Amino acid sequence: MKWDLDSIFPGGSESKEFAAYLDKLQLNVHTLNEKVTAFVVPEQASDSKEFEEILQLLQTVYMEVSESGSFIACLVSQDVSDKKAQLLQSKISQQFAEIQNVTTLLEQKVTRIADDVWNEILQQPFFERVQFVLDEMRTQGKEKLPLEQETLINDLSVDGYHAWEDLYDRIVAKISITIEEDGEEKTLSFGQASNKLSDTNRDVREDVHYKLQKAWKDQEDLTSETLNHLAGFRLQKYKHRGWKETLKEPLQLNRMSQETLDTMWKAIENQKHHFVKYLDRKANLLGVERLAWYDQDAPIASSQSTVSYDEGADFIVKHFNRFGPQMAEFAQKAFNEKWIEAEDRAGKRPGGFCTSFNDSKQTRIFMTYSGTPSNVSTLAHELGHAFHQYVMDDMEYMNQSYAMNVAETASTFAEMIVADASVKEASSKEEKIALLEDKLQRSVAFFMNIHARFLFETRFYEERKEGFVPAERLNQLMEEAQQEAYQNALSEYEPEFWASKLHFHITGVPFYNFPYTFGYLFSLGIYAEALKSGEEFEQNYISLLRDTGRMSVEDLAKKHLNVDLQQSEFWEAAIQLCVKDVEEFIELTN
């Protein structure tokens, strides 16, 4: 149950081989910097040799920095007290910032290549392979301000933009509540308190919910400042660039159109009544008239069964095999070659992730396996991510980076296979209900909770254009968005959610919400397709994954699934799979 990191770099954070690798990276960054600075914009297509060399080196440098970053992430996670690894982490962040600056400089030079020369360059073999990414770089570069101004924005954003997120993090760290447990007073951090919201006892959930709400209310003079200012910074940047739509950047990052986004939400809205039925039934089962915000994660049945690690692994491989031998073989390989850190021990960081070593063409999965059915799902989920990387390993590195909305495609797909099989093979009715409910909670999160976040954020940004939006108004906007997104199914909502949800305060990614819902439905749509088709499915699926880094999502769906994302059919078929869960749930709990 422990992973093998030595086959990548022997010796952990003291590794000599890794130190040498970092030196090589630093040297490469230095060379790249010199080359890009000296780079003269080609005036004819035949002058593109230097350009190609720069791009190849750029790919190498990105690959090496990612390989290093992955190694350090693994070290830090397996032992949170590894000080040497933490030092290495700050070293790699510096390298990364430097590479980003070189990339911006290159981007600006690329925008100056004349159109006809550009089109001719793109016909040469190497350039043709990375055409989509290069075109994207050039088009987006043209929509930005001149280099000096963009550099100034970047430099100012350290203290004037990202700092608001840092300040927010400080506020979160100060949030705590006191509860009484077993006759004793206990102080809980925000994270610990949040876990109590899935307690079986309603009094506990209610108590924690109101205490948390009060704690956030006490800070709302501060959190309304952080939220307003980071949004204000973003809007000013857009204004100077001449961008009118707030969604321009998030859509661009996710390589999707406004029409696709609108169609997706509309299809969800049309099917929401099914999920309202589920919420009503759950209220019934909990013995309340309507669910409150703090009842959403309440368990209604407990599944007691535990699964050993080996059983879990066998279950995954067996069910992956039903959809494709390559995926099953890959999972087996990951188990055999010790790519997974699953041991349940002290000193590890919590959570799970999958990280790739692009240079070594390997991946590593991190999690803590304690034998619950949800651990098996997590393991399948991370193996899905690893498989996504595996099928891309031989491609140009530039074509391997995919956006947030398709990043969860392979993982959700893999998880779905295992979750569905678990429901089917559940040993008792209670267990079946618990597993189904787990799936339904996820659907409600994607269709209702995240929809509320999207509605709130869209409206908040419109009002922010006119000036500061005070806390009372933010509360109002949030509550209205929740009522609308949940179709009034709940008895009470959480107006302070704009303050308590970290995602609104992430400066690195705007609109950290709709890509989740997109990804969930996109992979469900693929799953629906997989259930229909036979042996040829896996090859098509692999081709789709390979194109996730070099196409718009509309083209991706058109080419591999033969569907139009701007039409509702695809979305409806995907949602239908979740509606089936509702129906089964209702029947089982009758």
Binding mask 522-541 for Zn ion (x = CB under 5 A): --------------------
Establish if 412 lies at the interface with Zn ion (CB under 5 A). Answer: no
Q: In 3-state terms, what secondary structure has residue 21?
A: helix
Helix (H, G, I), strand (E, B) or coil at 401: coil
Q: Which stretch binds Zn ion (CB under 5 A): 192-200, 404-412, 426-434, 556-564?
A: 404-412
* Residue closer to Zn ion, measured from CB, 355 or 422: 355
The smaller minimum CB distance to Zn ion, of residues 292 and 340, is found at 340
CB of 385 to Zn ion, least distance (A): 6
**Of residues 415 and 547, the one with the C-beta less far from Zn ion:** 415
| 503 vs 580 by CB, closer to Zn ion | 503
Q: Binding pattern to Zn ion, positions 157-196, x when CB under 5 A? A: ----------------------------------------
Q: How far apart are CA 203 and CA 514, in angstroms?
A: 33
Least distance to Zn ion from the beta carbon of 378, Å?
Answer: 9
| CB-based contact 4:337 (threshold 8 Å) | yes
Q: Which region, judged by CB under 5 A, interacts with Zn ion, from 256-264, 407-415, 465-473, 480-488?
A: 407-415
Q: Is 111 in the site for Zn ion (CB under 5 A)?
A: no
**Any idea what DSSP says for residue 159?**
I
Between 282 and 388, CB nearer to Zn ion: 388
The span from the CA of 356 to the CA of 5, in Å, is 12
Instruction: Give the residues across from 365 on adjacent strands.
Output: 340, 354
CA distance 15 to 70: 15
Distance, in Å, from the CA atom of 216 to the CA atom of 201, rounded to the nearest integer, reads 23
Residue 238 or 339: which CB sits closer to Zn ion?
339
Nearer to Zn ion, 231 or 418 (CB): 418
Site residues (CB under 5 A) for Zn ion, limited to 354-373: none
Between 69 and 232, whose beta carbon lies closer to Zn ion?
A: 69
Nearest residue to Zn ion, by Cβ distance, number only = 411
Q: How far is the CB of 392 from Zn ion (least distance, A)?
A: 16
Task: Rank residues 274 and 381 by Cβ distance to Zn ion and give the closer one.
Answer: 381
| Residue 391: Cβ within 10 Å count | 19
What is residue 12's DSSP assignment? G
Pairing between β-strand 184-189 and β-strand 176-181 as defined by DSSP bridges: antiparallel
φ, ψ (nearest 5 deg) of residue 421: -65, -40
Distance of closest approach, residue 363 Cβ to Zn ion, in angstroms = 13
CB 380 within 8 A of CB 316: yes
User: Total number of residues binding Zn ion (CB under 5 A)?
Assistant: 1
Phi and psi at 366, nearest 5°, equal -120, 130
- Which of 1-9, 34-42, 219-227, 410-418 is the region at the interface with Zn ion (rule: CB under 5 A)? 410-418
% helix, strand, coil for the chain, step of 5: 70, 5, 25
Selection from 327, 514, 313 nearest residue 410 by Cα: 327
Query: For residue 365, with 0-12 CB atoms within 10 Å meaning exposed, 13-18 middle and 19 or more buried, which class applies?
Result: buried
Give dist(CA 83, CA 143) in Å, integer. Answer: 43
Nearer CB in complex with Zn ion: 42/525 = 525
- In whole angstroms, the minimum distance from the beta carbon of 519 to Zn ion comes to 9
The reply to whether 411 sits near Zn ion by the rule CB under 5 A is yes
Residue 531's CB is within 10 A of a number of other CB atoms, namely 11
Q: How far is the CB of 444 from Zn ion (least distance, A)?
A: 19
By CB under 5 A, the residues from 268 to 307 that bind Zn ion are none
Positive or negative: CA dihedral 258, 259, 260, 266 = positive
CB 484 to Zn ion: min, Å: 28
Q: How far is CA 530 from CA 15, 257, 408, 420, in A?
A: 44, 26, 17, 13
String of contacts with Zn ion for each residue 30-49, x by CB under 5 A: --------------------
The residue range among 153-161, 178-186, 408-416, 525-533 that interacts with Zn ion, by the rule CB under 5 A, is: 408-416
Closer CB to Zn ion, residue 384 or residue 510? 384
Chain positions contacting Zn ion, by CB under 5 A: 411
